[in-house]
Amino acid sequence: MAVWFPALVQAGNGVPTAAPRLSFTADEMRLAEQVAADPGLADFYGTNGLKPIFTGAQGAPRRAALIAAVGQAAAHGLPPGRYRPAVLRRLHREGVDTMAKEARFARAFADWSRDVSGGILEPQRVEPGIKRKVQRPRTGDLLRAFAAAADPAAMLDGLPPQDRRYAALRAALARQSRLDAPPDAPPVPQGVWREGIDDPAVAALRRRLEAIGFAAPPLDHAQSFDAPLARAVAAYQQAAGLPADGIAGARTVARLNRGAGPEAAAILVALERMRWMRGHDLNARHVWVNLPEFNVRIHENGQEVFQTRVVIGKAAADFETPEFSEAMQYMVVNPRWNVPRSITVREYLPRLQANRHAVGHLDVVDGAGNVIPRDRIDFRQYSAKTFPYRMRQKPSDDNALGQVKFMFPNPWNIYLHDTPTKHLFNQSSRAYSHGCIRVGRPFDLAHELLKGQVESPQAVFAKALESGRETYLNLRPPVPVHLVYFTAFPDETGQIRRFPDIYGRDARIHAALVRTALESGAADE
């Protein structure tokens, strides 16, 4: 009877890729056993005939490239211990090639390539408000590309997101790591410390700055605040985003003493979130709604071409705006508002039961869309579960959706729309809706979206608006829409801006990242 290694004869879909083997060498059996638990590794080694790629004649440069790559784990906000770099370095130095060595490097490659390209967490398991499905690459495909690469290091360099904003977040993490003093650095006493002061607190200030890489030239009298120390303080302030006046006042001292703060946590989460965007071309034209920023932007060729304020869902379980990506296919000018059933039965039905003429701006319609006179309905006989009608608002200036809505069909019925309630855009925190996204300058957004497909976007939109009729304007081609949630994100200049964690999602993601790091082990095996 033939001896079979399943991945050797199947390519994931059961299609034979090789003739059955009558026997395996002892090394091949050991390798098969080592990688069998990982479907991606089993797929790769099965389809390549169980030939090693990390040992043998070509193994050394591949091992060296992988060791160098995982050595950058912390710079990507990933836990270094997860990839066991010390174990990899020890095995690399050993002259004996074994299948255990091959399997160890293969597992490290699988973990690293998955994590750095598509993220370490499964977002939907961590946070129910995230509906995004991460488009992770197949491990077997990555291993095949790695084995075929003339330059293994270059192949690994191409795995992380190549977006400039990811690079800016990495640079910010490096700066933040430098600014966050080690726990054993002495704290600086509170006060206002400036040039000319002689005080023991100045010596503590010197030591604290030196611990984080902002050392002033050594001075015999360390507690004297001299000009070089003032320059060191100013350099630190500039790096920390504080006024660079060279005076260690209350804000500077507090920042120095804080150590690792919320900025580092927010950047770690932002890096993970950028990895979740794998598979989306962020240089192509797209709509970007960063929920904590209360803002919508259009990007084209990697540049921002439009932005305006938005109002998003309330910070309550049933109203939070979810995160996902879909394609905007059309806009509706002069839209009817089909009231969501949740709003109908929770908010309007109790009012109708008290007064059938309540919410008179809305029509009550049956399943066929026919308007039903209210005096024919006994609203009191229905509960939220049994109410058989829908509610709808005709197109008008006072319509809850305003005069235009922007549709990217999705299971959660989320869309962007105009609103008659304009005053909310003057608020700094704008989480007031039932989940959909209200747009501050909807007509300008419509004009920008229509550019390139009609000669005069303003004229086309105005004609539809002036008709007073519900009018559909298709977008050709559809425009990707990304509803994202970044509490730390670079602006157009590369500077990191901070936004409130309005839904508490980043706190939960950061906690999950910390748990993953702890489970990985702080130290190598």
Mean pLDDT of 414-418: 98
pLDDT band at 4 (very low <50, low <70, confident <90, very high): very low
- Measured between alpha carbons, how far is 70 from 67 in angstroms, rounded to an integer? 5
pLDDT band at 523 (very low <50, low <70, confident <90, very high): very low
User: Is 281-505 in the same CATH topology as 181-259?
Assistant: no
- The CATH number fitting domain 281-505, selected from 2.40.440.10, 3.90.1310.10, 3.80.10.10, 3.40.367.20: 2.40.440.10
pLDDT for residue 132 is more than 80: yes
CA 125 to chain centre: 15
Domains of the chain by residue range: 6-157, 181-259, 281-505
What pLDDT, on the 0 to 100 scale, is given for residue 9? 42
The CATH fold of domain 181-259: Muramoyl-pentapeptide Carboxypeptidase; domain 1 (1.10.101)
pLDDT band at 261 (very low <50, low <70, confident <90, very high): low
What pLDDT, on the 0 to 100 scale, is given for residue 12? 45
| pLDDT-wise least confident of 4-13, 79-88, 163-172, 356-365 | 4-13
What pLDDT, on the 0 to 100 scale, is given for residue 260? 64
Q: Please report which helix (H) or strand (E) contains residue 479, including its range.
A: strand 471-484
pTM for this entry = 0.82
Mark whether 417 is an active-site residue.
yes
What pLDDT, on the 0 to 100 scale, is given for residue 131? 96
User: Which of 13, 378, 19, 245 has the alpha carbon at shortest distance from 5?
Assistant: 19
What pLDDT, on the 0 to 100 scale, is given for residue 464? 96
| b/e burial code for range 296-334 (CB count within 10 A of at least 16 → b) | bbbbbeeeeebbbbbbbbbeeeebbbbbbbbbbbbbbbb
What pLDDT, on the 0 to 100 scale, is given for residue 147? 95
Mark whether 286 is an active-site residue.
no
User: Which of 410, 416, 406, 407 has the alpha carbon at shortest distance from 309?
Assistant: 416
**Which residue in the list 417, 447, 482, 510 is annotated as catalytic?**
417
* Number of residues that make up the chain: 525
pLDDT for residue 8 is more than 80: no
| b/e burial code for range 374-397 (CB count within 10 A of at least 16 → b) | eeebebeebeeeebebbbbbebee
pLDDT for residue 272 is more than 90: yes
- Measured between alpha carbons, how far is 68 from 17 in angstroms, rounded to an integer? 34
Classify residue 422 as exposed, middle or buried by CB count within 10 Å of its CB (0-12, 13-18, 19+): exposed
pLDDT for residue 501 is more than 80: yes
The number of C-alpha atoms within 13 Å of 480 and in the hemisphere containing its C-beta is 16
pLDDT for residue 148 is more than 80: yes
**Which residue in the list 76, 286, 436, 510 is annotated as catalytic?**
436
Q: Are 501 and 292 contacting, i.e. CB atoms less than 8 angstroms apart?
A: yes
pLDDT band at 521 (very low <50, low <70, confident <90, very high): low
Indicate the average pLDDT of the chain. Answer: 90
What pLDDT, on the 0 to 100 scale, is given for residue 20? 58
Q: Each residue of 15-46: pLDDT tens digit?
A: 444 555 557 788 888 888 888 889 999 999 98
Contacts of 511 (CB under 8 A, 6+ apart): none
pLDDT for residue 183 is more than 80: no
What pLDDT, on the 0 to 100 scale, is given for residue 185? 75
pLDDT band at 13 (very low <50, low <70, confident <90, very high): very low
Kindly report whether the peptide bond that precedes residue 477 is cis, defined as omega within 30 degrees of 0.
yes
Give the three-state DSSP class for 67. Answer: helix
Token digits for 476? Answer: 């050709």
Output 243 or 467, whichever has higher pLDDT. Answer: 467
Q: Are 166 and 123 contacting, i.e. CB atoms less than 8 angstroms apart?
A: no
Contacts of 65 (CB under 8 A, 6+ apart): 152, 153, 155, 156
What pLDDT, on the 0 to 100 scale, is given for residue 217? 84
Mean pLDDT of 415-430: 96
pLDDT for residue 248 is more than 60: yes
